[in-house]
Structure 1
Amino acid sequence: MALTRPTGKHRAPSRMTRGSARIAGVATLATTGVCGTLASPALAAETGAASLEDTGTMVVLSAEAEMDSLADEVADQAATQRLEAIARVEAAEEAQRKAEARAEELREAEERAAREEERKRLNAFQAPVAGSHVSTGYQTGGSLWSSGSHSGIDFHAPHGTPVMSVGAGTVVEAGWGGAYGNNVVIRMNDGSYTQYGHLGSIGVTVGQAVMPGQQIGLSGSTGNSTGAHLHFEARSGAEYGSDVNPLAYLRAHGVPL
C-alpha cells in the first residue's frame, strides 16, 4: 500500500526546502534580468556618493589654494617691507657717511685756513713803532756816527713808547750794545736780522721766540743818543756793517712806510 502524507495542518517548509527555494528564486531572477534591475539603485547610490566626495575635495583644495595665495601675498608684502626698511637704513647710513665726510672736509678746510692764517701772521711784518714816522733816514751823514753815516733809520718815539718786533724770529742779543745803548737783536725767520737801539728798557731775553708785533721793550735815549727815539737797523747777517736799507726792507715785507 502506498504511503500518503498525513492529513491535517501543513508543516512549515524545512530549512533545506527554504534554502532550495531561495536558490531557485535567485536563479530565476538572474535569468529574467530582475537581478540587474534591483542592482541599479545601489550602483546609483555609490556613484552619487563618489560625486559628493569629489565636490568636497575640490572645495577643500580651492580653500587651501586661496590660503596659500594669501600666505604668499603676505610673505611678499613682508619681504617688500623688509627691503624697504633695509633701503631706508642704508640711505640713512649713506647720508650719515656723507654728513661725516662733509664735516671732515669742513674741519680740514678750517684747519688749513687756520694754518694759512698763522703762516701769514708769522710771515707778516709791521713797523716797530705804531703810528710813528722816520725822523732820520738811512745813510744820513754826520759826525754823530762813528762810521760817518747812519747805519739805520730813526723812528720818532717819546720815552716809554712800546717797541715791537717787526716780524717773527728769535732774540740773539738783549742788553747793552755800546753806542746803541740798551739794544735787542733778532734773527728773523727768513734769515735776516733786525736791531732795535737806544731802548729805555728791555722786555725779552736771549733765545726767546718773538711774534710779529710782540713788544720787546720801551723807547728811550740810552747810548750815543741826543734824545728819545728808536734806532732801527736791518741786516743781511749778524755782523756790524751788513746793514741794508731799513725802509726798503720793511716795504719789501709789506709794511707801508
Structure 2
Amino acid sequence: MAFTRATGKHRAPSRSHILTRKGAQAAGVAALAGGGVIGSLASPALAADAELPYAAPDMADTGLNQAVTTDLIAERVGAQARAQGREADEDAALAEAQAKAEAESIRKAEARLKAAREAKERANREAERKRLNSFQAPVAGSYVSTSYHAGGGMWSSGSHTGIDFHAASGTQVVAVGAGTVVEAGWGGAYGNNVVIRMNDGTYTQYGHLSQLSVSVGQSVLPGQQIGLAGSTGNSSGPHLHFEARSGEGYGSDIDPVSYLRSHGVNV
C-alpha cells in the first residue's frame, strides 16, 4: 500500500526552507550594516549569534559601570573636601590659639613694664622723700673748731651759742636740710647771716658769711648753697658760725652737734 506525506500547516519545514530563512536574516543584518546602523559588527559571528534566543547585555552597554565610577568619584571628592575643611578648621583654631597666646604674652609684657615703671617711680619718690628729709654738714669735709657753750669774752652771753666750723674765706656753705629762708642779710655780731626755718619746725643759723646766695622767702633743699664763708661781724677770722634753735629768736639755741647727729650727720 502506498503512503503519501500529509500536506497543510502541520507539515514540518524542510531544511532548505530553514536555510533560506537564515539567509534572509543574514541579508537583513548585512543590509542594516550597509545602512550604517551596525556597521562593522555585521560578521559571521554576529550571524551565528542571531540563532541564540537571548544574549546577556555587556556591562558597558547598560551604563552601570559609569554610574558606579561617578559615585566613587563623588565620594572621594566629598571626602577630600571634608578633609580640607577639617584642615582649614584646625588651621583656624591654631591661628586663633597663637593669636591669643601672643596677645597674652603682650599683655604680660605690658603689665611687667607697667609694674617696673611704677616700682621705679615709687623708688624715685622714696629717694626724693629721703633726700628732702636728709641732713648734712653745712661745710663739707670740715670739723668743729669751737664747741657749743664754750666760754669767753668774745660772746655777749658769756658762752658760745653755736659751734664754729673751720672754713677758709669763700668756702661753700650749704643748707643742712630743707626749709624756707626767713632771714638773709646783716645780723649785727653775726655779720652777714642766713636763718632757715626747717621743715621739721626748727631753725638753723649761718653767720659771718662773706657772701649770701639766697633771699627771704626762698625754699632751699639739703645741700643747696646759701652763701660763702667769711669773717664778717664779731669774728676773729674766717669760719662758719652755725646755730640750731627751737625757735626763731635769739636765746632758743640748742646743741648743734646733738641736733645734727639726731638727723644722721656725723660731726
So what's the TM-score if we normalise by structure 2? Answer: 0.76
- What whole-Å deviation, never above 9, does each CA across 1:182-214 have from its counterpart, x for those lacking one? 100011122211100111111111111111111
Residue matched to 2:145: 135
How far apart are the structure 2 equivalents of 1:89 and 1:127? Answer: 60
The one-letter code sitting in structure 2 at the alignment partner of 1:109 is A
Match of 2:191 among 181, 185, 196: 181
Verify: 1:205 aligned to 2:215, yes or no. yes
How far apart are the structure 2 equivalents of 1:118 and 1:77? Answer: 60
- What whole-Å deviation, never above 9, does each CA across 1:112-139 have from its counterpart, x for those lacking one? 1111221122122111111111111111
CA separation of 1:193 and 1:49: change in aligned 2, threshold 3 A? same
Residue matched to 1:4: none
Match of 2:256 among 246, 251, 257: 246
How far apart are the structure 1 equivalents of 2:171 and 2:141? Answer: 11
> Residue 55 of structure 1: CA displacement?
4.1
Q: SS in structure 2 opposite 1:139?
A: coil
> Residue 72 of structure 1: CA displacement?
0.3
Match of 2:237 among 213, 227, 234: 227
Runs of 4+ in 1 over 2 A off after TM superposition: 38-42, 48-59
Verify: 1:70 aligned to 2:80, yes or no. yes
Verify: 1:117 aligned to 2:122, yes or no. no
The one-letter code sitting in structure 2 at the alignment partner of 1:41 is Y
Q: SS in structure 2 opposite 1:41?
A: coil
CA separation of 1:51 and 1:193: change in aligned 2, threshold 3 A? farther
- What whole-Å deviation, never above 9, does each CA across 1:14-63 have from its counterpart, x for those lacking one? xxxxxxxxxxxxxxxxxxxxxxxx99638x65xx7799444432322222
How far apart are the structure 1 equivalents of 2:61 and 2:244? Answer: 122
Residue matched to 2:54: 41
The one-letter code sitting in structure 2 at the alignment partner of 1:215 is Q
Root-mean-square deviation (CA), in Å? 2.1
CA separation of 1:242 and 1:40: change in aligned 2, threshold 3 A? farther
- What whole-Å deviation, never above 9, does each CA across 1:97-119 have from its counterpart, x for those lacking one? 11111111111111111112211
Structure 2 gaps of 5+ residues are 1-50
CA separation of 1:238 and 1:40: change in aligned 2, threshold 3 A? farther
- What whole-Å deviation, never above 9, does each CA across 1:47-89 have from its counterpart, x for those lacking one? x779944443232222211110100000110111111111112
Q: Is the 8 A contact 2:59 2:65 kept in 1?
A: no
CA separation of 1:137 and 1:60: change in aligned 2, threshold 3 A? same
Bigger drift between 219-228 and 68-77 goes to 219-228
Could you tell me the percent identity over the aligned residues? 60
How far apart are the structure 1 equivalents of 2:162 and 2:171? Answer: 19
How far apart are the structure 1 equivalents of 2:147 and 2:81? Answer: 101
Residue matched to 1:107: 117
How far apart are the structure 1 equivalents of 2:195 and 2:182? Answer: 6
So what's the TM-score if we normalise by structure 1? Answer: 0.78
Residue matched to 2:38: none
